[in-house]
Structure 1
């Protein structure tokens, strides 16, 4: 069950989105393996050793768990000489095309740095070539694996929002230089990516793909009853934004490749300096402004969001571009990111990649964020416009 997203005009897909919703759900549940405990993905030692053997000769490799890895198996690796790396074994339904695309985007970004002669102000993930010279390898289980060099630092969280904003704007501008025409097939067509853009909300996960599957699942699965009030509110809001998105598509907002998951839990800092940006596995071709919206979607969950948003945007506008139309759409785009998470975790539960608690445990938080955004639409837009005005008047 694979899909390739090629924009609204030229779609190539190997997943039939016209199948009856109940039939899809029944088929996927039959195929699914038991879901791992949410946020704690592990792997058999034999598979881990297989992955390590594709990259290292030594047998005295030390492996320790990380605190990250919400979607994938992620472990620290240390060689006998003291070199440190990160092992990633993907838990994405064995979607090799997603891994190939991620590493191609990273390759182009590194190449852009070399050609310009100017390194970005932070590090990007850098894959260790396998013994065969490849950035990632296919395991006997069907999962892909790779080894990344360590990026020093700690997760930014809510520290240094201005610096994180500046780095986010810098990356967004750099991502505009990623070219589809030099990508390997099938990605060498404009807009063709293995990850759907946010405007294709119900394609956030391959086990959903249609609005009918999503709405049927949240309506009939008794597992949602533990958060019924929150999930019903989110569903109501999703139905509302479906209508508004049709209008967004007619606005001609800039589109480009974006990281699409660049929030403060994917940013490393050393002191107040951003040392690296992580996890490019959800890169897609989307509205440029979604990069900013994704970042802000985490801050709106904090106790006092507006000061954090103000400081983040102060940094973002120094390196990233925005139009008036994009700014006016940012509040809805923030919510769109949250709704995408709802669809995504619903799909992971259907496919057996996670337990349903990966969503039910977050539903209340998601609903709270959406309510805050809806109550502060003007404040969000005015903050961004003010910061942009200050910058352009200097």
Structure 2
């Protein structure tokens, strides 16, 4: 109870540095995996408090906020978080315990779902629109990326090389089946390493880098918001679509392909990928999954997660990478027919 009370005191101290209408109430509602969030009720207004748990780097948070400010006035058809300035006119606030925090205007809506065709196509449209906007805003040309692109995964996860992965697997005493999955994923990793030079030649620009259903908001059938721009970086443009495609593989191949087709149809109505990007999308989907797998391996090695978290990632990443291989002959037609059918690309 003492620890919880101190934590809540930290939140109150952060909020006190903003000029918010009274009365102010801080409530624990929905929170993400990477950061802590709290809902703030201030007078008749609502805000979201975000405490950054992944790092304590002001430059990363300031970059995220600069991108959000540029997007906020760019005429997007959906909302993005709007950072609120504190009494010192800064959007980044340091908590008493040294953690960085920010307050954003509240965006109403519910989490979209893959069971809704309109949400799938709408998420594709939002991603395509964001791609066009991030690739054209002059204000972003002055900004310098902090995070490395996905295709630099060997450097990003250097500590999780083949030997480290095998050591981690041995420590967990994985079943023979799980060990087989780990070896198969190492094979995928090797193949992707050989493709790095091709990835680097793809068109590059600022991307969100983590557009998934959990980072979006819907109202009725429409996508009304995209959230969590913390990992924005300059990367292969097609990586934006690949990240979302990785959400859909399931046991029903036909359903998975149908959903990816809907997603790409939405994306293709707002943005255009060239033939080389389409050809490499299956590999970029696998790249997303291998990056996630290595990320959680690192978290386990650092003592940040329970063992079962990485074991679950082994299962999911193995499934998705295997699904891509099994459907590789069918994927190009699905991706190209959707993402490339753009006689008229709507500009915003």
- TM-score, normalisation: structure 2: 0.88
* Contact 2:199 2:236 (8 Å CA) reproduced: no
- d(CA) in 1 for partners of 2:227, 2:67: 13
Secondary structure class of the residue paired with 1:386: helix
* Contact 1:42 1:73 (8 Å CA) reproduced: no
- d(CA) in 2 for partners of 1:393, 1:136: 41
Number of residue pairs matched by the alignment: 332
2:108 maps to 152
Q: Using the TM superposition, give the Cα deviation of residue 98 of structure 1 relative to its aligned residue in structure 2, in angstroms.
A: 1.6
Q: Using the TM superposition, give the Cα deviation of residue 322 of structure 1 relative to its aligned residue in structure 2, in angstroms.
A: 0.4
Q: Using the TM superposition, give the Cα deviation of residue 64 of structure 1 relative to its aligned residue in structure 2, in angstroms.
A: 2.3
1:46–1:285 CA distance, 2 compared to 1 (3 A)? same
- d(CA) in 1 for partners of 2:15, 2:302: 27
Q: Using the TM superposition, give the Cα deviation of residue 133 of structure 1 relative to its aligned residue in structure 2, in angstroms.
A: 1.2
- d(CA) in 2 for partners of 1:269, 1:243: 39
1:181–1:353 CA distance, 2 compared to 1 (3 A)? same
1:349–1:60 CA distance, 2 compared to 1 (3 A)? farther
1:305 maps to 256
State which of 321, 328, 332 in structure 1 corresponds to 2:272: 321
Secondary structure class of the residue paired with 1:276: strand
- d(CA) in 1 for partners of 2:262, 2:141: 37
2:161 maps to 214
2:150 aligned with 1:198: yes
Deviations 1:171-230 (A, max 9, x none): 0110112445533xxx2xxxxx221101101344xxx4x1x5433332112137264343
Q: 1:284-299 maps to which residues of 2 (within 5 A)?
A: 284-299=233-248
2:58 aligned with 1:99: no
- d(CA) in 1 for partners of 2:35, 2:239: 24
State which of 65, 75, 78 in structure 1 corresponds to 2:41: 78
1:19 maps to none
2:142 maps to 182
2:89 aligned with 1:133: yes
Q: Over aligned residue pairs, what C-alpha RMSD do you find?
A: 2.4
- d(CA) in 2 for partners of 1:320, 1:380: 19
1:33 maps to none
1:147–1:393 CA distance, 2 compared to 1 (3 A)? closer
Q: Which runs of 5+ in 2 are unaligned?
A: none
Q: Using the TM superposition, give the Cα deviation of residue 307 of structure 1 relative to its aligned residue in structure 2, in angstroms.
A: 0.9
Q: Using the TM superposition, give the Cα deviation of residue 253 of structure 1 relative to its aligned residue in structure 2, in angstroms.
A: 1.5
* Contact 1:127 1:135 (8 Å CA) reproduced: yes
1:374 maps to 325
* Contact 1:136 1:144 (8 Å CA) reproduced: yes
- d(CA) in 1 for partners of 2:339, 2:33: 35
State which of 162, 187, 190 in structure 1 corresponds to 2:121: 162
1:389–1:270 CA distance, 2 compared to 1 (3 A)? same
Q: Using the TM superposition, give the Cα deviation of residue 140 of structure 1 relative to its aligned residue in structure 2, in angstroms.
A: 3.2
1:294–1:177 CA distance, 2 compared to 1 (3 A)? same
Q: Which runs of 5+ in 1 are unaligned?
A: 1-40, 114-118, 188-192
* Contact 2:272 2:340 (8 Å CA) reproduced: no
> Which structure carries more relative contact order (alpha carbon 8 Å, separation 6+)?
1
